[in-house]
Amino acid sequence: MKNYIYGAADPLQQILKGRFIILILNSMKKILLMSVIVGWLSSTNVVYSQDATAAVHVKLSLAENKTVYSIGDPIKLVMEFTADSDGYQVETIRDRDEPRSDSISVAPDAGVNRWLDDYLSGERYMRDVISFKKLSDSPTRVELLLNDTLRFDRAGRYSVKVTTRRVSPTSSLHENRHPIALTTNEVSFEVQPMSEADEEKEVKRLSDSLDATRDWQVEEKLTQELSYLTGDASSREKVRRFLNSEGRSGNYTTHIINGLFIARNRSLVLQLLEEAMRDLKMPVTTVLLRVVSKLRWLEEGGRVKAESATIAGVLTPKGVDPRMTEIQDTYVNELAASLEKRAGHSQTTTAMTILMNLPKEPQTAGVLLDEVRRLLLQQFDSLHPYDQNYLLDVYWEKLRDPSLVPTLEKMLGSGGIASKNIHDAALKRLIEIAPEKARGYVIAEIRDPTSLVDLKLLESLNDKSLPEVDDALLEQIRRLASSKVNFDSVYLKQKTSLAARYASNTIYADLMQIYRDASSRLPLESRAALLAYFARHNEQETLPMIEQVLDVIQPGQDFNFLPDFTQLYYSDAIDALLVKRLESDEPQAVNTAAYLLSLHGSASDEKVIEKRLERWRKMWGTRAAEAETNLQGTVERELISALITGKAWKLAPERVHELRQSCTTQICRQNFRTQ
């Protein structure tokens, strides 16, 4: 967690913080991280232990004992945390534009501009990365740059102190202990004016250094220093670099954008950006549109909304200011009027920006959509592969058209790294609008021994089987089944799954021989796929083989087997097998069966799961404490979850509420606490 790359994400997420940023937590690591963050950030109605605050200490100092700065210089402070005893940890990453661990008090506050609050409309968003360090009597240093949130506009002497909530008791991820509020000592420093000539020299130094490097770490430092400068010379350079940032790192772009809002003369920045946006040769990106819209909104007096809500210490918006929407819609209409006068990259990029930011008013949006759709369909071949991929992935429903078939085939036939990245999107859309043409490409992918194109995509043809792939799959599976290369297990799962979906019974005997010879060495996921293939062609012979696997694997390992199998093959006989396992007394077997019945089962399985829950309550309802120690608590949780989420049935809202409130074990109550 030490290598924190700020701004490496899509820069669009760094522009208009009046809109929600959606964080998709798609792995257990992310889920655990969220647990830590929620516990760490919660500060509402917290009672802090006097003993705890007495045991931990923080000291604030000026980095390198520097006490005099010019306006625009980085002003770096250092907090040193210590603890008199074990049991405490400190979060060590700077806040930047994320949840505020540190509240900064400046005196006097006249002449101090809280630029970040303007830029983000007072909001903060969840971090992707946090890093804790255990506290001891040896100081742990945490740096704090005032420029990350403040701009000093007047010369003078200032005093600063910090209230920080970085320290928390050491705890497990599930204890959710609150942070400890600490207030530092006060430090003072002097801010002096920076002359225009001095700023011009500094801008030249930084600009020359940036021109000479493409190292992202060097860019990080140099663009940060440039962003902190506040005068007109630096503003012009920031605008120039913002408009010509292609090929630079996310860190570079983010710091330059921040610098546009740090600038003291935002009117100049807005004027320069509007001129650029109206230049018919300038491709207008969504980033440019939203920066200009936000600057215009601020120029008109747009400010932080008091009604923003606080959730776990993170401000979240009630909604976008209507005036902000009006401003952006006005710019979009202006861009649309200029489309016919634009050409090449300027025209297509601007058209994409209009598509991505259509006005809310339906009639206007419809007219603009018709125009940009026509233009983008005509020019689709000329778009950058990444733009093609984005449009196919995000705006397909607006662009879907048979005229794209030749372009999609061309994309599938091209080479290079960029083309490989758009291969899946092109194949997916070709399958949707011209499956007869896509069939050959799917066959080619399956035959390719190195292809790892998304399995669900390759499975999506309507053909019940593809005999053309039999020989290739048989050869690939035979080789992979005996391979000792670790990564070949990934290919094996892919190829056996494709056999389960498409291979004919012509290679049944050969695959059965491979399975019998290598079954003990095969990963469970690959065994599941081969058994799904066998079941599709001869279920009666396969059922005992499935039971045999389930009999020999360890408790809990069925979750590495049955979900893969049932995704590829499901029938009444498999449903009966899961119902049988649901009646088991082994908790993990019950959990897996309940989950899969809710996912693939029929409406009649609702009553089966309900009956199993009743039996569980008779046996464990009065023994909740014991159930917590032997996984039986997870059974209650999974049975209730299965009833609530079953795809073949729908419970009444009252019944859902009743089930959520009916938990007897803590693990079940925790699961439904926030639902």
CB 429, CB 396: distance < 8 Å: yes
Give pTM, 2 decimals. 0.78
All residues at 6 or more sequence positions from 182 whose CB lies less than 8 Å from its CB, including other chains: 53, 56, 57, 58, 163, 164, 165, 166, 167
Let me know whether 343 and 302 are in one domain: no
What is the 3 state secondary structure string of 224-283?
Answer: HHHHHCCCHHHHHHHHHHHHCCCCCCHHHHHHHHHHHHHCCCHHHHHHHHHHHHCCCCCC
Q: Is residue 509 situated within a structural domain?
A: yes
Residue 287 and residue 331: Cα distance in Å, rounded? 13
In the predicted structure, residue 119 carries a pLDDT above the cut 90: no
pLDDT recorded at residue 312: 33
How many domains in the chain? 5
Residues 2-7 have a mean pLDDT of 32
User: Is residue 672 in some structural domain?
Assistant: yes
Token pair, residue 415, equals 């080479």
Asked if residue 580 belongs to a domain, the reply is yes
Judge contact between 665 and 628, C-beta under 8 A: yes
Q: Are residues 106 and 237 in the same domain?
A: no
Q: Work out the pLDDT band at 2, boundaries 50, 70, 90.
A: very low
Q: Compute how many other C-beta atoms are within 10 angstroms of the C-beta atom of residue 635.
A: 29
Is residue 588 domain-resident?
Answer: yes
Q: Is the per-residue pLDDT at 246 higher than 80? A: yes
Q: Tokens for 577? A: 């097998």
| Domain shared by 299 and 371, yes or no | no
| Mean pLDDT for the stretch of residues 142-159 | 95
What pLDDT, on a 0 to 100 scale, did the predictor assign at position 419?
59
Q: Is residue 434 part of a domain?
A: no
Rounded Cα gap, residues 131 and 4, in angstroms: 9
Q: In b/e form, how buried is each residue of 130-148, taking b as 16+ CB within 10 angstroms?
A: bebeebeeeebebebbbbb
d(CA 652, CA 661): 14
Q: Which amino acid is at 236?
A: R
Residue closest to 391 by CA, chosen among 406, 405, 373: 373
DSSP state of 49: P
Q: Are residues 579 and 501 in the same domain?
A: no
Structure tokens at 46: 């917290």
- Structure tokens given for 479: 């080789």
Choose one of 516, 547, 578: the last residue of a domain: 547
254/107 same-domain check: no
Q: What are phi and psi of 314, to 5 degrees?
A: -115, 125
Per-residue pLDDT at 242 exceeds 50 = yes
Q: What six digits make up the tokens of 472?
A: 């290739």
The Cα 322–Cα 599 span in angstroms is 42
DSSP 306-334: TT-EEETTEEE-S---HHHHHHHHHHHHH
Q: Are residues 287 and 232 in the same domain?
A: yes
Query: What mean pLDDT, rounded, does the chain reach?
Result: 87
Give the range among 29-33, 282-286, 400-404, 479-483 with minimum mean pLDDT: 29-33
d(CA 551, CA 161): 65
Residue 536's Cβ-count burial label (10 Å; 0-12, 13-18, 19+) is buried
Residue 152: CB partners within 8 Å, gap ≥ 6?
A: 71, 75, 111, 112, 113, 146, 158, 191
**Residues 326, 264: one domain?**
no
Residue 20 has pLDDT above 50, yes or no: no
Averaged pLDDT for residues 650-661: 95
- Both 184 and 204 in one domain: the answer is no
Q: Same domain, yes or no, for 162 and 29?
A: yes
Question: pLDDT tens digits for 380-438?
Answer: 999 988 899 999 999 999 999 999 999 999 999 876 655 566 788 999 999 999 999 99
Query: Do residues 156 and 108 touch, judged by C-beta distance below 8 A?
Result: yes
Using the 3D structure, point to which of 264, 290, 316 is the last residue of a domain: 316
The whole-number pLDDT of residue 674 equals: 53
* Pair (36, 116) in one structural domain: yes
Q: Is residue 102 part of a domain?
A: yes
Q: What is the mean pLDDT of residues 484-505?
A: 96
pLDDT at 97 over 90: no
163 Rama sector, left if φ>0, alpha if ψ -120 to 50, beta otherwise:
beta
- The domain that holds 178 is classified in CATH as 2.60.40.10
Write out pLDDT tens, residues 290-320: 999 999 999 998 875 544 433 333 333 446 7
Alpha helices of 339-469 — where are they, by DSSP H?
Answer: 344-356, 362-379, 385-394, 396-399, 405-413, 417-433, 435-447, 455-458
The fraction of the chain above a pLDDT of 90, given in percent, is: 74
195-221 pLDDT, tens digit per residue, is 999 999 999 999 999 999 888 899 999
What is the residue whose two structure tokens read 């809710």? 598
Q: How confident is the model at residue 51 (pLDDT cuts 50, 70, 90)?
A: low
Centroid of chain to Cα 623: 41
Q: Which of 292, 316, 340 is the last residue of a domain?
A: 316
Q: How far apart are CA 60 and CA 103, in angstroms?
A: 13
Helix extents (H) in 459-487: 470-481
Count CA atoms within 13 Å of residue 662 on its CB side: 19
Residue 82 lies in a domain: yes
Closest among 79, 56, 200, 234 to 146, alpha carbons compared: 79
Does some domain include residue 349?
yes
Which residue segment(s) compose the domain that 168 sits in?
Answer: 11-192
| 575 plus 535 within the same structural domain | no
Tell me if the bond preceding 449 is cis, omega within 30° of 0: no
- Are the CB atoms for 150 and 115 separated by under 8 Å? yes
**N residues, the chain:** 675
The answer on 340 and 254 residing in a single domain is no
